[in-house]
Structure 1
Amino acid sequence: MPILRRGKEKIYHIDHLPEKMRVTLKTVMDVNLHDIAKYYGLKYLTPRVGEPIFIPYGELNGKFNSYEDAFEKIYEAIEEIKEEGHEEYKQWYPNAVFLDHYRIVFYSTTEYGEGVIYGIGAEPLADLKPSLDISKDDIVVIGMSVRIPSAKYYDVIRNRRDEIIEAYNQIYSEFHAKYDKDKVYVIEVATYYMKKFFDVVDNYFKTLNFTNNLKGKTAVIPLFSSPAKKDGKIIDIWREYFKNYFEEGNYYKLEALQAIYNEEFINKILSVVKDNFEEIILVSEKKPRVPDLLKDLKITKEGENYVMLSR
C-alpha cells in the first residue's frame, strides 16, 4: 500500500493542518508521561529503523468540531495501520505486549514518485514484562515496575494522578507562554491525553491484586533515583531541586517521577515497611544503595539490580 493514499492531499507542514488538529498534535507531543510509564514498568518503543506506524499529514486533514474529534481522528488513522507496525516492532522487541496508547513524534519519509512525505510517527506504549525471579509467599510490591506472580501491589502514585496532570499542565503552559511564538498548548487536550494514558494503564493492570495495606512477609520496593530531598507538591519540588531546568528553558527534562521519589518520601515508605515486613527487597536499574534507615538489616542476597535484606 502506498504511504500516501490516492485522493489524499499532500501536506508539507503541520501548520497547514486545520487549527484543532495542529494544536492537538503539538500539545500531546509535550505530555506523553514517559516517566510515569517507567514507574508502571512500561515504555514507549523506539523504532530501530524509520517509523513503522507512520501517518502522513494528509491523512489528518478535515473539519473538526472539537479537539476531541481531532484526537479521535489521529487514533482512527493509527488503528488502520497499527497491526502491520506492531509486526515490525516485534522484530526488535519480541516479548512486547502492546497497549492502545502512543507517543506522537514528528517524522518524514520518502516514497518513489511522491518525494518527501511529512507526518507523524506513533510509537506504541508497551509492556516488556520486567520480572523479578522470586518464589516467596505473601509478597507486596510497593510500586508497579516489576511483575511477580501472586504478589499484591501497592500503587504509590494512584492518589497523585490529578496532581501529576496539573503539574505538567502548569509547566508546559508556562513554557509555551515564554518560549513559543504561537503559544500552542491547550490544557483541555493535554488533560484528555494524560487521562487516557491512565485509563489504558488501569485497564491493562485490572487483573492484578491491589492492596492498601502495607503489611506482609516480603516487601519488594522498586526505587528511582532523584536529587530531591524534601517531600511536597510536585511543582514545588521541581522549582526547588530542578530550578536550572526552568532557568535554561529545559522544561522537557522535568519528570514527575523524580519529584515523587524524593528522599523524604522514600524514607516514609521504608519506615513503615521496616516495621511491618520480615524481608525487604530493593530493586533498581543498577544495584541499589542500602539507605541509612535500613543499614541495621542484614544483606542476605544481592544481584545486579537488587538487594535482599532481613532482620
Structure 2
Amino acid sequence: MSFFRKREEKNVLHIDHLNPMMKRAIKTLIDSGVPEVARLYGFRYLIPRLGEPMFVPLGRLDDDFKDVFEAFNRILEEVNEVKFRGMETYRLWYPTAEEIEHFRFTFYSIVSQEGGMKVGIGANPLASLDQDLFKLGGVEEYVVNKKVLILTPALVGQAVNSQSVLSKAKNVNLLDIVSERRGEIIESFLWLNKSFHDKYDKDRDYDVELSRMYMQRLFDVISKIASGKLVKSPSEYETVLLPLFIFPKRRIVGNVSVMEAWNFNEEFAEMLRQARFHDVEVTPVIYNYEVINELVDNYAPRAENLVILTDQKSPLLERLDFLSWTKGYKVIKDGEFTKILQPAK
C-alpha cells in the first residue's frame, strides 16, 4: 500500500464510475480466474459461506491509472490489506484447506453498518483440500506406505495437502498431461472470453494481455507448488491411481485440439451458438479417452493395483466402452466412486 495515498474513500456504487483502466482491469480479471484450470490440477477456489471475507469496495479503487497493469497492482495492494483476516475466516470454514496466494475475483455488494450499500469485488483464494472431487478416503490401504503413481495431475492439490491420505504414502509422483498444453488452454480461454465481450459487452472491456498474464500466473503458482511431484519418467511404483472424470457421452472427444473440439463437437458447438459461454469446458478435451487409454497401457501393467477414482457415481467398467484396456484387468472392488483392479493373469 502506498504511504502517499489517502485512506479516505468515496462510496462508488457502480463500476462505470471508476477510471476506465480500473474498470477494464476488474472486468478482465473476473473472467481470468479460470476455475476449470484449477480443477484440472485438483485445486479449487474457496467459496464464501457467509459474506465475503476478502472484500474491496470500489471506493478503494477510485483513482487515476495509466494502464490496466497499474490498476491490477492497485487491486493486489488492496487485497493484501484484507487477506490475512480473510484467510482466518476461510480456515474456520475449511479446516483441512491449505490456502494459496492466488485469487478468483467476483463482484460483491454489502449493506454497511450505516445502512447504505457498498459495492466492490471479492477475492476468493485458491486452495488444496485433503480430498475434493475424488474420494481418497476409500483407498487408504492402497496408498499408505506405498509408492504411488498418479496418471494425471488431477490430484496435485491433494498430493500437496498435508492432511490428505496421499501425505501418508511412501512416495507420490504424478504425470502432467496438462502443462504440455498450457499455451493452447490459455489461448482458447482468451478466444472464448474475447468472443463473449465482443458480442455481449457494450464497452468491450476485456484486456487480452492482462488476462493472459493472470492465467499464466495461475499455472506458474501451481507449477511451483507441485515442483518435485510432477514427473515425466516414473520408475518404481506399487499403486497406480487413475482419477477419471465421467463426462456425458455427447461431450466425449478424442485427442484433438481444444478449438477443434469446441467448434466441431456437436455439444460444444451448440453451446457457442446459444452463447452459453460459461458451459464450455476444456476438461473433456485435455482428459480425453485416447490419452487416458495410452497412460493406462504404458504404466498400469507394472503396478500391483490400479485404483480408479471417479468424480461422480460411475457405471460398471464394461459399460465405459471408450476405455480399451478394461478386459486386461480383474475387478477386486467395484464401488460407486472407487474401483480396485489388478492385471489379469
How far off is 1:93 after superposition?
Answer: 0.8
Cα deviation per residue 1:55-101 (whole Å; 9 max; x = unaligned)? 00011122223322211111111111111111111221111111111
1:121 aligns with 2:122: yes
TM (normalized to structure 1)?
0.91
Structure 1 vs Structure 2: percent identity of aligned residues?
31
How many residues get paired? 306
Cα deviation per residue 1:195-244 (whole Å; 9 max; x = unaligned)? 111121122222x3332125544321111233222221111111222111
Relative to structure 2, which stretch is displaced further, 275-284 or 245-254?
275-284
How far off is 1:278 after superposition?
Answer: 4.4
1:26 aligns with 2:46: no
Are the aligned partners of 2:246 and 2:312 in contact in 1 as well (CA < 8 Å)?
A: no
Partner Cα separation in structure 2 for residue 201 and residue 256 of structure 1: 18
How far off is 1:187 after superposition?
Answer: 0.8
Q: Which residue of 1 aligns with 2:262?
A: 238
1:250 aligns with 2:252: no
Matches within 5 A, 1:150-189: 150-189=171-210
How far off is 1:188 after superposition?
Answer: 0.3
Are the aligned partners of 1:288 and 1:307 in contact in 2 as well (CA < 8 Å)?
A: no
Could you list the runs of 5+ residues in structure 2 that have no partner in the other structure? 1-5, 160-165, 318-322
Could you list the runs of 5+ residues in structure 1 that have no partner in the other structure? none
Matches within 5 A, 1:81-92: 81-92=82-93
RMSD, aligned CA: 2.0
Relative to structure 2, which stretch is displaced further, 255-264 or 240-249?
255-264
Q: Which residue of 1 aligns with 2:112?
A: 111
1:265 aligns with 2:291: yes
Relative to structure 2, which stretch is displaced further, 71-80 or 173-182?
173-182
1:202 to 223, 234, 237: 223
Partner Cα separation in structure 2 for residue 295 and residue 184 of structure 1: 52
Are the aligned partners of 1:141 and 1:154 in contact in 2 as well (CA < 8 Å)?
A: yes
Q: Which amino acid aligns with 1:209?
A: K
2:338 to 293, 296, 306: 306
Partner Cα separation in structure 1 for residue 231 and residue 47 of structure 2: 33
Are the aligned partners of 1:30 and 1:252 in contact in 2 as well (CA < 8 Å)?
A: no
How far off is 1:288 after superposition?
Answer: 4.3
2:253 to 225, 229, 249: 229
Relative to structure 2, which stretch is displaced further, 167-176 or 213-222?
213-222
Are the aligned partners of 1:238 and 1:259 in contact in 2 as well (CA < 8 Å)?
A: no
Cα deviation per residue 1:132-151 (whole Å; 9 max; x = unaligned)? 52135332112232422311
Q: Which residue of 1 aligns with 2:55?
A: 54
TM (normalized to structure 2)?
0.83
1:211 aligns with 2:211: no
Q: Which amino acid aligns with 2:264?
A: E
Q: Which amino acid aligns with 1:244?
A: E
How far off is 1:292 after superposition?
Answer: 4.4
CA 1:135–1:301: 2 relative to 1, 3 Å: farther
1:140 to 129, 144, 149: 149
Report the secondary structure of 1:237's partner residue: helix
Partner Cα separation in structure 1 for residue 88 and residue 226 of structure 2: 23
Partner Cα separation in structure 2 for residue 113 and residue 6 of structure 1: 19
Relative to structure 2, which stretch is displaced further, 94-103 or 140-149?
140-149
Relative to structure 2, which stretch is displaced further, 179-188 or 211-220?
211-220
Q: Which amino acid aligns with 2:27?
A: K
Cα deviation per residue 1:173-211 (whole Å; 9 max; x = unaligned)? 1121122211121110110110111121122222x3332
How far off is 1:254 after superposition?
Answer: 1.4
Report the secondary structure of 2:311's partner residue: coil
Are the aligned partners of 1:238 and 1:254 in contact in 2 as well (CA < 8 Å)?
A: yes
How far off is 1:29 after superposition?
Answer: 1.1
Report the secondary structure of 1:295's partner residue: helix
